[in-house]
Amino acid sequence: MALAGEVKDLQALISQEVTFQSGSDQIKGYLSRPRAAGNYPGLIVVHEIFGVNEHIRDVTRRFANVGYIALAPNLFSRLGDVDLSDVEKGRAAAFNLPDEQAVRDLEAAASFLRTQPGATGKVGCIGFCFGGRETLLFACKSDKLDAAVDCWGGFISYAAPGQRTTAQRPTPVIEMVEHLRCPLFAAFGAEDQNPSPAEAEELRARLEKAGKTFKVKIYQNAGHAFFADYRPTYREAAAFELWRDVLEFFGQYLA
């Protein structure tokens, strides 16, 4: 199985577990950067409901390998040692995370990246599934980002199954896009149902109406989580296409 952006030489990178401050809380994260001296933009990598697992660490290293100081913050840090490989526990963690808290933590992650040696000050964010939703939320609620990539962020039109809003998610994210604060690339799978191609088109229409800088792309022969090579949803051709598109997008706005 071929992997888009696969890192061949781990010695070319410096990768480590880190913590950073968000308000009064310590947030855990995984940081990776090029070993070579230089100036690099920052990139936040937001995990799926399964937390900062080995796949997310690997994706973080892939971005470091092409010239980013990349950080995967654990937005579930306050939960302690919860087994997030359990789908139901992961969903519970996601649905119980208040949107306001997620934005604060992601702003803290952006600030942490901007303090790193050699940081250019530019910071982007990419997220997958749950992380895609949080990335779109972040880009709409904060001015701390220079570019955002939402990869099939689910539950953008409603808060949870059967619930349009909840206390933790008081406004559907798709209704916030008129406030988008940075260029956005939103990636969807043609065979996905959450988010569906219809939601992709609604997002496109709302962004066009608001006059935002954006790109919405629906990938063919791909469903949900088609970049997740550790899951049966992985689609190699679409994953390579997405990787090229993401690098081009970030190259345009974070260079």
Of the listed 99, 146, 224, 229, which one is catalytic?
224
Distances (CA, A) of 143 to 62, 171, 225: 26, 19, 28
- Please state, as a whole number, how many other Cβ atoms lie within 10 Å of the Cβ of residue 32: 26
- Check if 182 is active-site: no
Nearest to 51 by CA among 13, 22, 81: 81
Of the listed 105, 146, 150, 192, which one is catalytic?
192
Coil, helix or strand at residue 109: helix
Distance of alpha carbon 177 from alpha carbon 44, whole angstroms = 20
Of the listed 58, 105, 129, 146, which one is catalytic?
129
Distance of alpha carbon 147 from alpha carbon 42, whole angstroms = 11
The structure tokens listed for 90 are: 């992961």
- Check if 192 is active-site: yes
Coil, helix or strand at residue 19: strand
Distances (CA, A) of 25 to 50, 55, 105: 21, 25, 9
Give the chain's count of helices (H) and strands (E). 6, 8
Coil, helix or strand at residue 74: coil
Rg (CA), the chain: 17
Catalytic residue IDs:
129, 192, 224
